[in-house]
Chains A and B, each alone.
Chain A
Amino acid sequence: MYSDKVMDHFQNPRNVGTMEDADGIGQMGNPVCGDMMTFYIKVKENRIADVKFQTFGCGAAIAVSSMVSEMALGKTIEEALKITNESVAEELGGLPKNKLHCSNLGADALHKAIEDYQEKRKAKESSETVPEKKEEGENDSCSCPYCEGPIEGLESSCQSCHIEFEDCPECHKPMNKKADDCPHCGATKPRV
């Protein structure tokens, strides 16, 4: 089912743990969806000097978070922000199709930790209080992109608005089978 690289990261995940004095913390997913990841980063001179993560999830989710942590370590903030879910999956030698959604959380959680770090720094600079965390708006894995009804991301149709889904060929998130544009990445589907 999984590539050797995925199994290696699953069996020996790198950088597992928490961080007492993290500069940024990011969390994605929730146990209801089946996957949840927390990333902690320490930043020195605009570089990710240390990274730790914790993951509740399947083999793919654990391997993805481990790979993200490895890819992020030592990178500048700008470089780390360029890590995409696709590049992580690629680095892992591919993931089973039905597990691609697990990989969506990995890079997102890291980016959230970076955002958290940037916000904290901004707040420090302008000596304001830390702004309240933004409401999570793109929790794609748990809501229909069209009606916001609850989905797990793998159904063939939405229970609430009955739109039939297929995976977007670009970002692999669920999109309306009949639509031409993906609501997540805007990719246009070639008409067959």
Chain B
Amino acid sequence: MRRIYLDHIAGTPLHEDVVEAMLPYLEEKFGNPQSLHSAGQEALEAIEGAREKVARLINAESSEIFYTSSGSEANNLALKGFALALRNKGKHIVLSSIEHQSILNSAKFLEKLGFTFSHIPVDKYGMVDPEDVQKAISKETILVSIMLANGEVGTIEPLAEIAEICRNREVLLHTDAVDAVGNMPVDVKILGVDALSLAGNQFYGPKGSAALFIKKGRRILPFIDGGIQEGGRRAGTEDVPAIVGLGKAAELALQNMDPRKEKMETLRDTLIKRLLVSIEHTVLTGHPEKRLPHHASFCVEFVEGESMLLNLDMQGIACSSGSSCTSRALKASHVLLAMGIDHALAQSSLVFSMIDSNAPEDIDYLLEVFPPIIERLRKMSPIYTQYLEEKKK
């Protein structure tokens, strides 16, 4: 059967060059970067070389890159680390209501320690209004954390404007850029952020490879205590192969940014345009223009997400409904609800995310098999029957 992978927001394949770069560190180059002998020094050189490549991808200094085991860990470190480091200055933090669970649940943890949070609403496109951030900041505010782009609906947030507000109010700004970095140009100097989370598995790097950018001079408290790895901000023996893979992936992403982005955008726009025409009662979720280059998300009325997803899977097409985390928890997506989409329609969400190696024929195939699936599921749907009966009246 033909297999088409359109769930790259859950993770991309490894680029062959990434695998090649990693292999020696899974085999003969097994040294611990903290060891003084030459095997250790060889590993140290490898992770420091990777650090430079990651820094270059987001226009940071290599001393500002701190490796973590996942985007979630980077988000945890940013939120908890800044909150605890700044707790004597204030205890209020501003978030958007569509952040990833690793931010929202870190906030829940910090609430137990006495921190308070403002959750900024979003408009129907999932867009934060910088004015609302301005209004939410008080004398007690120490940190703002707003994602750069949302993985469920693809919307890119106006981060530079938010950064200007934070600078004027002398409040730190962190951004969860996990779904953005590697897929669109991200420059920490242009954005003006104090911290930024990224993950390699979003751009041909391995799972378990991620980093937090922390601007020079910004104090953060670690939550993994131990040795002096990562400048004391994140103890634990470094995952050398993963880090080397992340470095290679960052290098490739920077080299190929424009052609990759262009290819993905063409696929995305074709998919959005054709799907909306070929299946009626379907809406695009997220912003129509300001969206991730590789992201097309929809709500298909009268049909539940998992039943669509499984049917597509049986035809060889992999995609996701809501976020992959949301779909297992079986809860209506908090992102869609925050955008004002009603509960019933939020059950009908589907996300397609591509990479540049997807072919236009993949989109053709999707549009060939998807409409009959929807037709079959709608015939089975009591809500669709109700709709048709009401229409008759």
A: residues with CB less than 8 A from B are: 10-11, 13, 16-18, 27, 30-32, 34-38, 54-59, 61-62, 98, 152, 154
What count of chain B residues pass the 8 Å CB interface test?
23
The contact string, 1 if C-beta is below 8 Å from chain A, for chain B 312-326, is: 001000000000000
Given contacts A34-B304, A57-B307, contact A152 B382 (CB under 8 A): no
- A31 contacts across to B, CB distance below 8 A: 343-344, 347, 383
Q: How many Å lie between the Cα of A10 and that of B305 in the bound state?
A: 14
- A154 contacts across to B, CB distance below 8 A: 329-331
- A98 contacts across to B, CB distance below 8 A: 328, 330
Q: Which of A34, A61, A62 contacts B332 (CB 8 A)?
A: A34
A56 touches B330 (CB 8 A): no
A32 touches B344 (CB 8 A): yes
Contacting residues of chain B (371-386) with chain A, CB-CB under 8 angstroms: 379-385
Q: Which residue of A lies closest to B389 (CB)?
A: A18
A151 vs chain B, min Cβ distance (A): 10
Q: Which residue of B lies closest to A66 (CB)?
A: B380
Q: Which residue of B lies closest to A35 (CB)?
A: B304
Q: How many Å lie between the Cα of A32 and that of B304 in the bound state?
A: 11
Q: Which residue of B lies closest to A98 (CB)?
A: B330
A166 vs chain B, min Cβ distance (A): 16
Say if the beta carbon of B306 comes within 8 Å of chain A. Answer: yes
B21 vs chain A, min Cβ distance (A): 34
How many contacts A-B (CB < 8 Å)? 64
- A34 contacts across to B, CB distance below 8 A: 304, 330, 332, 347
- A18 contacts across to B, CB distance below 8 A: 385
B288 vs chain A, min Cβ distance (A): 26
A56 touches B302 (CB 8 A): yes
Say if the beta carbon of B228 comes within 8 Å of chain A. Answer: no
- A27 contacts across to B, CB distance below 8 A: 382
Given contacts A56-B303, A59-B307, A59-B310, contact A37 B330 (CB under 8 A): no
A54 touches B307 (CB 8 A): no
Q: Which of A30, A58, A62 contacts B380 (CB 8 A)?
A: A62
A58 touches B383 (CB 8 A): no
A157 vs chain B, min Cβ distance (A): 12
Q: How many Å lie between the Cα of A84 and that of B305 in the bound state?
A: 27
A54 touches B304 (CB 8 A): no
A54 touches B330 (CB 8 A): no
- B381 contacts across to A, CB distance below 8 A: 54-56
Closest 10 CB pairs of A and B: A31-B344, A58-B306, A54-B382, A32-B343, A38-B382, A56-B381, A59-B310, A34-B347, A56-B383, A57-B304
- B328 contacts across to A, CB distance below 8 A: 98
B: residues with CB less than 8 A from A are: 302-307, 310, 314, 328-332, 343-344, 347, 379-385
B314 touches A56 (CB 8 A): no
- B382 contacts across to A, CB distance below 8 A: 27, 36-38, 54-56
A110 vs chain B, min Cβ distance (A): 14
Main secondary structure of the interface of B (DSSP, over half): helix
- A56 contacts across to B, CB distance below 8 A: 302-304, 347, 380-384
- A62 contacts across to B, CB distance below 8 A: 307, 380
- B332 contacts across to A, CB distance below 8 A: 32, 34, 152
A55-B381, A62-B380 given; 12 more Cβ-contact pairs under 8 Å? A10-B310, A13-B380, A31-B347, A31-B383, A32-B343, A32-B344, A34-B347, A56-B380, A56-B384, A58-B305, A59-B307, A98-B328
- A57 contacts across to B, CB distance below 8 A: 304, 307
A59 touches B306 (CB 8 A): yes
Q: How many Å lie between the Cα of A50 and that of B384 in the bound state?
A: 22
B346 vs chain A, min Cβ distance (A): 9
- B385 contacts across to A, CB distance below 8 A: 18, 38, 54
B66 vs chain A, min Cβ distance (A): 32
Q: Which of B305, B314, B380 contacts A54 (CB 8 A)?
A: B380
B380 touches A152 (CB 8 A): no
13 contacts between A and B (CB under 8 A): A32-B343, A34-B332, A36-B382, A54-B382, A55-B381, A56-B303, A56-B347, A56-B380, A57-B304, A57-B307, A62-B380, A152-B330, A152-B332
Q: How many Å lie between the Cα of A54 and that of B384 in the bound state?
A: 10
Q: How many Å lie between the Cα of A58 and that of B384 in the bound state?
A: 16
- B383 contacts across to A, CB distance below 8 A: 31, 36, 56
Q: Which residue of B lies closest to A18 (CB)?
A: B385
- B343 contacts across to A, CB distance below 8 A: 31-32
B347 touches A55 (CB 8 A): no
A58 touches B329 (CB 8 A): no
- B303 contacts across to A, CB distance below 8 A: 56
Q: How many Å lie between the Cα of A117 and that of B306 in the bound state?
A: 32
Q: How many Å lie between the Cα of A34 and that of B302 in the bound state?
A: 11
- A152 contacts across to B, CB distance below 8 A: 330-332
B373 vs chain A, min Cβ distance (A): 11
Q: How many Å lie between the Cα of A129 and that of B384 in the bound state?
A: 30
A108 vs chain B, min Cβ distance (A): 15
B278 vs chain A, min Cβ distance (A): 21
Max count, chain A CB within 10 A of own CB: residue among B303, B304, B344, B379: B304
Q: How many Å lie between the Cα of A152 and that of B343 in the bound state?
A: 11
- B329 contacts across to A, CB distance below 8 A: 154
